[in-house]
Structure 1
């Protein structure tokens, strides 16, 4: 009998990336056109794929709203969430990666509002 870890089970519950990621890229293009205007559709989809793969498979983010928020913020920031070692380590070492990511995203989003 096949036994899945809770993490594997959670990953299997995520939507199929082949159908989901193009829709997410289109949503980013629709909602944040100025921030991604420098990317053509193929480049945008590639960035969404890289961000999604990192968040889901490296950081183990399995809560869909958190994952969507993460990908959107990461893509419009040019991959800064993926590239920041402190963020990466904090989420990887957190007892609940989804909660740690939500905390970091809330802080980053709040900070970006204050900077405008």
Structure 2
């Protein structure tokens, strides 16, 4: 047995490999000389990061730069009343004249 600080180490398990993020964890079985145990590893992306390598970023916003939330895959989903790239275009009130009317906030018409 090895001594680490004031605690005794009974068994050591080292595992190399790649585990992609996802909802399914990986169960590892360790059968050592002194002890046998089973443990589960589950990998999740940090908040606002998505994808199989956690390299897609989507940060929800509701300001001048966009009006959207992020779905489970990290895609932008416009908030109600907004459309277009980064959901920056307001959807005008129904009946607003397409040639002479405009709006900067959803549901209005100038």
The interval holding the TM-score normalised by the smaller chain is under 0.3
Q: Greater helix share, 1 or 2?
A: 1
Query: 1 or 2 for the larger relative contact order (CA 8 Å, sep ≥6)?
Result: 1
| TM-score, structure 1 as length reference | 0.22
Q: Greater strand share, 1 or 2?
A: 2
| TM-score, structure 2 as length reference | 0.23
Whose Rg is larger?
2
